[in-house]
Amino acid sequence: TFWYKGSSREVQVSSVSHQSCETSLKHGRADGSDALLSHFLLQVVPVDVSSVVLRSTEGTQSELTVGAGEDLRPVLLSTGVCARVALKVVYVIRYNAAGAVVNAAVSVVLGFIRGASVLLEQEFQAIFVQDGGELALRLSGNPGYVVGRPLLSGTKTAEGISRSTELRDALSLLHSSAEQDCLRGPHRRSPVLFGVNAVSGCTLRLEDAANCSLVLQQLLDVLRGPNYPQYVASFGNSPLNKQLDWVSVQSSFSPVEDQSCSIPFSLHLEIEWTKYGSLENPQAQIVSIREIIQTNSSSLPLLSGGGGSLPVQSSVAFVPVSADALPGYRATPTIDAKLPFNFFFPFV
């Protein structure tokens, strides 16, 4: 049950039922409910705002820095656009072993809607986590990958593999949109889905002479994403503490400082997978993943000052490497018979 007290949001942790609270409010002091209501309101915890993300009309997202007391209520702009509309709200509520709420946080996605006849879709979600535990990580298969589910990815730590609960931190591709500029963000991204080949990209435009190393790093960040993972899970449910169940992302790209300016114009992920297990129920397993980056040493000088453009592309392809399935049969049983040493006595 959520309480709204002034501008702060609070969460009820009392065991008093909603019906008894309404009864107390109706009868007032006649039945001594002031003490009950006071006790009821004291057992609340504030809801901390963990993140506020603003989604533009084109679909790009950027995180907002919200100050204390800042008003985020919807507002109607002069252009007929309603700004700061709640599109998605996710509550993460932590509780202890006794079942009492000890902490609560909320993440909000705000956006824009045009016109009064637009169908507005809002998503509300509440996640309950026991205090001391971690958020449950979504799997992509059990054990093998399921086609259309995101690839599990993470980074290496001393304890094993660290994986974020956010899809934006997973292995992803640049999400294409009309007239998308590579050097002007923020850029929307789409997670790499198992078994789904995809191609996307952006356009590189340079109005004036630019620094080659700066453009190189910016394009790498755009193609790879903000949190480029180092490992990908072999199976859809690979445990984080078993590093052997994770495949490292192989890459031979290394920026070289020379007279010619080499900038990346293509990033391709080649993912090899195989079928593992029995013929009746084979499981999809990733065996290798390779990053292929192609560069162009002549594009930047031509673009600088010329007002030209260069298409930059990112893609992923899944390559099956399974051997032909062969039926397996058990070995034919052999007869290992032994006779007593005097079986033919007295004839022999």
Which three-class secondary structure state does DSSP give residue 24?
A: helix
List beta partners, residue 105: 48, 92
pLDDT at 142: 86
Please name the amino acid found at residue 274. Answer: T
pLDDT at 182: 82
Token pair belonging to 89: 């709200």
Q: What parts of the chain have a pLDDT lower than 70?
A: 1-42, 58-61, 68, 115-118, 132-137, 164-169, 177-179, 185, 206-210, 255-261, 297-308, 325, 348
Domain range summary for the chain, segments of one domain joined by +: 137-322
Beta strand spans in the chain (E): 2-5, 8-12, 44-55, 61-64, 75-76, 81-95, 101-114, 123-130, 153-156, 161-162, 172-174, 189-191, 198-205, 231-233, 246-251, 263-276, 283-296, 309-320
pLDDT at 26: 42
Is this model's pTM higher than 0.95 or not? no
**Contact (Cβ atoms closer than 8 angstroms) between residue 253 and residue 263:** no
Which three-class secondary structure state does DSSP give residue 28?
A: helix
